Structures are given as C-alpha cells and as structure tokens.
Structure 1
Amino acid sequence: MNDDNSRDLYERALSVMPGGVNSAVRAAIEPYPFFVQKGDGGHVVDADGNRYIDWVMGLGPLLLGHDLPEQVQASIQQKASEGPIYGTPTEIEVDLAEFVVRHVPSVEKVRFVNSGTEATTSAVRLARGYTGRNKIVVNQGGYHGAQESTLVEGDHENPAPSSAGVPQSFAEHTLPVPFNDEEAVREVFEEHGDDIAAVMTEPILGNYGIVEPAEGYHEFLREITEEHGSLLIFDEVITGFRVGGLGCAQSEFGITPDITTFGKIVGGGFPVGAIGGRAEIIEQFAPSGPVFQAGTFSGHPVTMAAGLETLKFAAANDVYDHVNDLGDQLRGGLEEIVADQAPEYTVAGTDSMFKVIFTRDGEAPTNAADVQNAETDRWRRVFWGQMKDQNVFLSQNQFECQFVSYNHTEDDVERTLEAYKDAL
C-alpha cells in the first residue's frame, strides 16, 4: 500500500505543528498517520488514494456518515452562503435548542458552545457557582476534555495533575474514583460531602475502551448526590444522540442528571458543545446569572443548521434502527471470532458503539484500570496496522471508541469481520 503523500505531508507538518498534528491522538500511529483527502459514505480516501472502511467517523460526530442527506447539505450550504458570523442571535439557535429540550428528558434549557471540552469546563464552573462548593468527583479513566479540572490522575486521597501546566492546587479540588466503585464514592462523600459541587461521569466510559456501568451504579450516584446537595453531571459528549437515540443515554438508563454536556453529534460534524439541564441551574449562566460564560463562535449558524437537520433526519427516518442493527451484527460477529481465535479478549459496546478489548482473561472490564491492563501496545503497534493493511480504519488506540454510521452497509460489516478474522 503506497503512502508516499501521507509521509511527505507528515514531514511538512512536523516543521510547523507540534508532533505534526492538531490533536494528540492523531499521532498515536507510528511511524506516522495517514492523511485523509475526503470522506465517501462510510469510507475515507487518503492522500495516496487508498480507500478505507471508516469506523472512526471523526471520533463520533458523524451519525449520518460522510455523505450527508440532501436536506442536511442544503441547510449547511444555505447558512454558509448567508454569511459566516454576526455577533448576534439567529433563529436557527432557537430551533436547535427547542429540539434538544423537547427530546432529552433532563434538559429544560441549554447553552451552546464550541467543543465538548468547552462544555465540560463550563459545566464544572456552573456546578461550583450554583452550589457554592469547590470539589468535583470524577471517574478514573473518564474523559471530560482537555481542561484543568479533569486532567487529574491518582485517587481521591492523592489527586495529581495528569498534564504539565496544571497546578497541584487545581488538582486538589478533583477527586478521582474508580468507575463502578460505590464504596469509593461513599468514602469521598463521607470526607468531603459538604464541599462536593458535583459528580461528573460518562454514562458509559467511551474514551477508555467502552466500559458499561454496573447495575444500579448510576442510580446510586443519583441518590448520593441528592442526599448531599451535590449535582449529578452526565457527560454525554460521546453518548449523546447515539446511545438511546434522541433521548440520549440518560433515557436508556432511566436517570435524570442535573446537568448534561453534549458535543459531537449535536453539531452534525461541525465544532460544537452544549450544556443542558434544569432551568434554575442553567439560568445561572450570564447574562441571567453570576456564572460567566461566553464565546464569539457559540451558536454558529452553520453548526446549528448541521446539528438540527442531522437530528431531524434521524427522527424522521430509520437512522437509529440501521446503525444499531449494524452494531449488533458487528458485535455478534466479533464475539464469534473472539471466542474461536482469542477467547482472552472481550467485545464491548452498545447501540452503534463497538470495540474489541485485548483483555488477558476474557472478562469484560468494569473500570479504566482493567482496560489499562489490557494488551494496549499490541493493539496499537501490531493489530491496528494489520487492519489498515486490509483497508479498515479503526480508532488509533485501544482506548478510543468506534462508531457505526447511517452510511455503513452490511457489506462493510462483513468485510470488516473478515479483516478481524485475519488480524486476530
């Protein structure tokens, strides 16, 4: 497989961008990533003309795939042709906000921002401002964007920054606990309950190999936060409008968080984030409340149009039936392959999310440490390249999720399963 153009582009990129990329995960593949020229349905074509079945889907935003339905494309083009930005509200912001409020159980009001990271950063500030408290409980291995409050490792007794540039004094206000560990959550509330502003969790860990919540775990988080006057934040940047359909993962689990963060699909493939929740909480954002939050590009009309038309198309068509059925086919086929060829591995995922995790004992992970102990180097250094050689594009490491889109077909699934058979 020829990759001369990608290599040349990466050499150029190294001269002008740190690591040759604008987001670290893109450089996870060694010796260099391939550069994409264009998307085509459920596929991407790289700078050398190689065509891959794409299960990355932009790391999740592309529910509909690369070929957008005519009504979605037309709305995007119309908004782009009318002018890029105005510095004043537009009707399309209201339209998308009304759609989100109508379909997501916990959301009475919503504030649009420009990325998932901006959404979670703002949600933490909002929780602190609303409660008058400082500390945030997070799950080890949960990902809430590149922000100071959650770039924290260790445990609740010894939290420490996980990135240079984050002061230890910031990390001391973040209390990491293992996912699915109710006892650890009880301990932090016993010690810090009067100063815990919120528990922030992903409904499903989606940036650490896909880890499902244990039965009753989210119900427990809902109960203990209410008991202590803390907020429950669901980070649905990944799961939002993918797991559980238009009601998001919270509707599937039957949990009503106080605040929900969104990203990815709600912008239809364009830069977006959002914070939604109970009206009395969301109204604490400026200008109606004392918690400052603002952004020049927030509610950008092109993004709002892309998000609204994507969700309207999903509501009016068989999008969720299609992607979830293909997800079931993928996971079912992978389970058969793993059972026959690699019984120590596990297949994870739900709805249109899937992943084979290179566990060592055949047991499904229950927290981030279980995934960390998997054969992560083999996944990245050997397996990923074997799949690429068969023209299948998977997420760049063991931890990132993989996604099905409306553009994928049963043929894509069968070809991918054959590639897994060969690579495993």
Structure 2
Amino acid sequence: MNHEASRSLYDRALSVMPGGVNSSVRAAPQPYPIFVDHGDGGHVVDADGNRYIDWIQGLGPLLLGHDMPEKLQAAIQSRAAEGPMYGMPSEIEVEHAEFVCRHVPGVEMIRFVNSGTEATVSACRLARAVTGRDKIVIMQGGYHGAQESTLVEGDADGTEPSSPGVPQAFAENTVPVPFNDPEAAEAAFEKHGEDIAAVLVEPVQANMGIVYPVDGYHGMLRNLCDEHGSLLIFDEVITGFRVGGLGCAQSEFDVDPDLTTFGKIIGGGFPVGAIGGKTEYIEQFTPSGDVFQAGTFSGNPVTMAAGLETLRFCAENDVYEHVNGLGRQLREGLSEIVADYAPEYTVVGSDSFFKLVFTRCDGEPQGESCRNGCRQDPDCDRYGGCPKRGTDIYRAETDRYARLFRPAMREQGILVSQNQFESNFVSYGHTEADVEETLEAYKEAL
C-alpha cells in the first residue's frame, strides 16, 4: 500500500500539533498514523485511497458504523439546520433523558455533559459532596479519562501522580486496588472506610486489554459500599449501550450502582458524556442542589438528536443481535487460530468488542469455557495465567503487537486498535465477510 499522503499530513501536523495528533493514542501506530479521508459502513478509506476494514470505530462510539441510517442522518441535519446550539433547554434533551432513564436500571435522573472525562470528574465531585468524604477507590489498570483524581498510580498503601501536573494532594485522596481482588478491596475499606466517598469501577476493564470480572466481584463492591456509606460508581463510558444492550453492563451483571457515567454511544458519534443515577444524588447538582456542574455545550441539540436516534434505532432493529453475533464469531474464530499459531496468547472480549492479548502464558490454550473470550473461569486450564486486571497487559508482548503485528494487519487492509491496550469494536456496518477476511489476516499476521 502507498501511504505518502498520510506521511505528508503527519509531517505537517507535527509542526502545529504536539506529537502531530489531538489525542495521544492516535500517534501510537508506527512509524506514523494513517489519516482517514472518510468512512463507509464498517470500513474507512485513508488519504491515499486505501480501503480498510475498521475495527477501531472511533474507539467505540460508532455502534452503527460509519453510515448513519436515514432517520438518524435526517435528525442530525434537521437539528443542525435549526441552529447548532442555544445555551438554553430544548425538547430533544428531555426526550433523550427519558429514553435513558427508562432503559438503564440504575438511572433515575441524568445530567448530560460533553465527554466521558467530564462525566467522571463530575461524578467524583458529586460523590464527595454527598458523603462529605474525599477518597475515591479506583482499580489499577482502569481508565476514567484525563482527570486528576484517577491519573494516579500505586496501591492502597501509597500513591503518586501518574502524570506531571497532577498535584500530590489528589494522589493522596485516591486509593488504587487490583481489579478482581476482593481481599484487596476489603483491606482498603478496613483502612480507609470512613474516608471513602466512592468506588469508581468499569464493569469490564475495557481500556487495557478487556478484563472480565470474576463471578460476584461487583456484588461484593456493592456490599462494601453499602456497609461503609460509600457510593458505587459504574464507569460505563465504553460498556454503556454495548455490553448488556440498552440496559448497559449493570443489567448484564445485575448490579445497581448509585451513579453511572456515560460517553461514546450515548452521543451517537458526537462529543458527549453523562452522569446518571439515583434521584437523591443527581438532584444535588446545581441548580436543584449545591454541587456545581455546568457546561456551555451540555445537552447540545445535535448531539442529543444523534444519541437518541441511535438508541431508538437499536431498540427497533436487530442491532445487538447482529453486532454481538459477529463479536462471538470473531472471538471463537480467534480462539481456533490462536490454538494453532500462538497458544500462549489470550482472546478476550464480550458482546460486540474483542481483543487478542499477546500474553506470555505457558501450557494449553484457552479452554472451551473461555472460547468466546476469557471469562475468568476457575475451571479453565489457563485461569492462572490469563489477565486478571488491566495492569497485567503490561507484561504482554506490547512491542511485538506495535512493531510487527499491527503493521502486518494494516498492510492486509485491516485496522485493529492502535496499541495492545485498546479494545476493538464491532459495528452494525460490519458483515460476516468482514469477519472472515479479518480472521484470515490474523492467520497471516501471527
């Protein structure tokens, strides 16, 4: 493939944008990223005219793919033509809020914002105000956006900022514990329980390799929060409206969080975030309460129309049946390929997202119980070696993925996640032919 146009654009971008990008993960592909010209269903075409099967899908927001259904496109165009934003309420905000509250079990009220990061920032502020406490428990290897309360590393006995510019005071009020480790969570509450405002957790750790929870883990967190008067916050920015369908991951795991943060799919491909939860908490945001939260573009009518029509389309069509079916085909197909070509690697994922983690496991490949992606099954022969938390992915062959595997996939016309940590996403625009072509490419690249 020829990539001269992308190279030229990257050269220009380096002069005017740090690292040549506006989000650091986009610079991960080596030696430079491809620049996209346009999308088409489950595909993208780059600046050089090369066509790819796209499993990145905007890093998750594009559940329907790059082609908008006619009704969705009409709603967006109509709203944009009527005026891009008002700084005042509009009916479409109410309709979207009603839809989400009707379908997501833990959401009685909702506040729309502009990004997943803004949602988690606001959720942490709200939890601290509600409880009168400062500490937030997070999971090692979890991701909750570019915010000071979670850009922290360490463990329950000591933390420090994971980025320059984050004050040590934030790290001191953050308690990282290993995901899927009930004893560590219990120990953190024994030590800090009276000071813990909330536990902030992804139902499935989806930004570092996709790590499924062990059976009963989220129920245990729910009980700990209840016992100590803390709030349970589910970060469903990635899993929301992808895992568990319109009920989100909380419905799949049958856990009732106090607060839920959203992003990505809830905006139909446009910039969005949201904080949902119990009325007694959400109504403490200004102006009904005293916890300040505001934003010029919050509830933007174009975004609200895109998000609402996307979810309506999912409710009225076979979207989840389609994307989850393709996801299963990918994971099961990868399990067969890995057993033959790289038995030390681990297939992970659920519903409509998937990943092949370049783990360094000894022994047999994944067992039948995890053929549809690792499920943390103690009866699986690989249980002792599969990733139990996002930080385990650091021990995977990340350089092999970045320098050999991903470029080989790209040259076969397949785009997978920019690095070993991010997820791949199935969309309604993908087909069984895309799946078969992708599996053949995995065989070649491995």
Quick check: 1:386 aligned with 2:408?
Answer: yes
- Give the deviation of 1:41 after TM superposition: 0.5
Instruction: Please tell me whether the aligned partners of residues 135 and 197 of structure 1 are also in contact (alpha carbons under 8 angstroms).
Output: yes
- Residue of structure 1 in register with 2:376 after alignment: none
- Give the deviation of 1:369 after TM superposition: 2.8
- Give the deviation of 1:82 after TM superposition: 0.4
- Residue of structure 2 in register with 1:377 after alignment: 399
**Aligned counterpart for 1:397 among listed residues 419, 428, 438:** 419
SS class of match (2:261):
strand
- Residue of structure 1 in register with 2:260 after alignment: 260
- Give the deviation of 1:80 after TM superposition: 0.4
Instruction: Please tell me whether the aligned partners of residues 210 and 390 of structure 2 are also in contact (alpha carbons under 8 angstroms).
Output: no
Residue correspondence of structure 1 range 182-221 to structure 2 within 5 A: 182-221=182-221
Deviates more, 1:373-382 or 1:406-415: 373-382
- Residue of structure 2 in register with 1:335 after alignment: 335
- 1:220-256 C-alpha deviation (Å, 9 max, x unpaired): 0000000000000000000000000000000000000
TM-score of the pair, normalised by structure 1: 0.99
Q: CA separation in 1, counterparts of 2:161 and 2:129?
A: 23
TM-score of the pair, normalised by structure 2: 0.95
Give the counterpart letter for 2:201 in structure 1: T
- Give the deviation of 1:381 after TM superposition: 1.2
Give RMSD over aligned pairs.
0.6
Q: CA separation in 2, counterparts of 1:380 and 1:218?
A: 33
Instruction: Please tell me whether the aligned partners of residues 348 and 364 of structure 1 are also in contact (alpha carbons under 8 angstroms).
Output: no
- Give the deviation of 1:209 after TM superposition: 0.3
- Residue of structure 1 in register with 2:440 after alignment: 418
SS class of match (2:66):
coil
- Residue of structure 1 in register with 2:324 after alignment: 324
- Give the deviation of 1:364 after TM superposition: 2.3
- Give the deviation of 1:306 after TM superposition: 0.2
- 1:87-146 C-alpha deviation (Å, 9 max, x unpaired): 100000000000000000000000000000000000000000111100000000100000
Instruction: Please tell me whether the aligned partners of residues 159 and 174 of structure 1 are also in contact (alpha carbons under 8 angstroms).
Output: yes
- Residue of structure 2 in register with 1:33 after alignment: 33
- Give the deviation of 1:188 after TM superposition: 1.1
Q: CA separation in 2, counterparts of 1:188 and 1:323?
A: 38
- 1:287-308 C-alpha deviation (Å, 9 max, x unpaired): 1111100000000000000000
- Residue of structure 2 in register with 1:164 after alignment: 164
Give the counterpart letter for 1:391 in structure 2: G
Quick check: 1:406 aligned with 2:423?
Answer: no
Instruction: Please tell me whether the aligned partners of residues 41 and 408 of structure 1 are also in contact (alpha carbons under 8 angstroms).
Output: yes
- Give the deviation of 1:31 after TM superposition: 1.4
Residue correspondence of structure 1 range 71-220 to structure 2 within 5 A: 71-220=71-220
Give the counterpart letter for 1:388 in structure 2: R
5+ long unaligned stretches in structure 2: 366-384
- Residue of structure 2 in register with 1:58 after alignment: 58
- Residue of structure 2 in register with 1:292 after alignment: 292
5+ long unaligned stretches in structure 1: none
- 1:313-371 C-alpha deviation (Å, 9 max, x unpaired): 00000000000000010001000000011000010001001000001105321112321
Percent same amino acid among aligned pairs? Answer: 71
Q: CA separation in 1, counterparts of 2:437 and 2:24?
A: 29
Give the counterpart letter for 1:365 in structure 2: P
SS class of match (1:387):
helix
Give the counterpart letter for 2:160 in structure 1: A
Number of positions where the alignment pairs a residue of Structure 1 with one of Structure 2: 424
Q: CA separation in 2, counterparts of 1:31 and 1:415?
A: 25
* Moved segments of 4+, more than 2 Å: none
Give the counterpart letter for 1:381 in structure 2: R
Quick check: 1:364 aligned with 2:386?
Answer: yes
Q: CA separation in 2, counterparts of 1:382 and 1:230?
A: 46
Q: CA separation in 2, counterparts of 1:370 and 1:304?
A: 37
SS class of match (2:71):
helix
Give the counterpart letter for 1:419 in structure 2: A
Deviates more, 1:294-303 or 1:151-160: 151-160
Give the counterpart letter for 2:224 in structure 1: I
Q: CA separation in 1, counterparts of 2:390 and 2:310?
A: 32
SS class of match (2:222):
helix
Q: CA separation in 2, counterparts of 1:226 and 1:240?
A: 23
Q: CA separation in 2, counterparts of 1:71 and 1:416?
A: 30
- Give the deviation of 1:269 after TM superposition: 0.1
- 1:9-38 C-alpha deviation (Å, 9 max, x unpaired): 001100000000000000011211000000
Q: CA separation in 2, counterparts of 1:365 and 1:262?
A: 25
Q: CA separation in 1, counterparts of 2:87 and 2:37?
A: 32
Q: CA separation in 2, counterparts of 1:394 and 1:321?
A: 22
SS class of match (1:400):
coil
SS class of match (2:158):
coil
SS class of match (1:260):
strand
Give the counterpart letter for 2:139 in structure 1: N
- Residue of structure 1 in register with 2:277 after alignment: 277
SS class of match (1:159):
strand
Q: CA separation in 2, counterparts of 1:6 and 1:371?
A: 30
